[in-house]
Amino acid sequence: MLKFLKMIKLLVANWKANPETLTEAVRLAKNIDYTGVVIAPPFPFLDGVRKVIHKAKLAAQNVFWSDGPYTGEVSANQLKKLGVRYAIIGHSERRRNLNEIDAIINKKVTAALNNSIKPILCVGEGPELHKSGDHSKVLRFIDNQLKLDLHGIRNPRGVIIAYEPIWAIGTGNSDSTEHVSKVVALIKERLGSVSILYGGSVNPNNADKFMSIAGISGALIGGASLKSSEFKKIISISKRY
């Protein structure tokens, strides 16, 4: 009976602008095709990956809010028609490198929900704020991102929140369980029982620590999701919870 009540952890593989070829993408996808895994390949590989996965689900790394005359964009409607179930929105790499502001992120979250795509909304503080050591300031910063990014969303429970402290992404320095727990408490206080992922240097050595945090539903994984042996280890760790 307990088995049925257990919520399976969600492991989102954010491949970013990797790998180089469709052949490699397909090979990687086949290796990590497990229940609970969500694969977010770059746009050119979405359809190829879709064709070879059976248990994993598909995510886009970005989404646009409309069809029509928007050169270079891919709409939520197009992604839905392709079978994409999730979309990563507001990743710090897009906020920083493409000036993606909260008003844009809010439009993307809204469009994804309107097209039955589950947004994985990324929030998190940068290195300066982290270095200040002022936890309440960090929480206020995240709270403000949630407020702006989810403006007008009537049912935020349809959104997955990924807490990704920017200073922890790709650095090998993951966050402490104490700090992640404080952020989880803040998110729950503001949004109720939403799913929350942790992201930032998750690997087979620290996955256990993050999976065991109360209120954490899984992880958003960059680098380690490109090495199937590492990612598989994280999958088996996640199955313990």
ω into 19 cis (within 30 of 0): yes
CB nearer to ligand 13P: pick between 102 and 164: 164
CB nearer to ligand 13P: pick between 181 and 203: 203
Whether 91 is catalytic is yes
Confirm or reject binding of residue 59 to ligand 13P (CB under 6 A): no
Please say whether the beta carbons of 197 and 160 come within 8 A. Answer: yes
Confirm or reject binding of residue 221 to ligand 13P (CB under 6 A): yes
Please say whether the beta carbons of 118 and 158 come within 8 A. Answer: yes
75 three-class SS: strand
Candidate residues 37, 46, 129, 202; the one interacting with ligand 13P per rule CB under 6 A:
202
Candidate residues 67, 170, 173, 212; the one interacting with ligand 13P per rule CB under 6 A:
170
**Helix, strand, coil % in the chain, rounded to nearest 5:** 45, 15, 40
Please say whether the beta carbons of 16 and 222 come within 8 A. Answer: yes
CA distance 87 to 63: 7
Confirm or reject binding of residue 200 to ligand 13P (CB under 6 A): yes
CB nearer to ligand 13P: pick between 28 and 202: 202
Give how many residues touch ligand 13P by CB under 6 A: 14
CB nearer to ligand 13P: pick between 98 and 155: 98
CA distance 115 to 32: 27
Binding site for ligand 13P (CB under 6 A): 14, 91, 164, 169-170, 199-202, 220-224
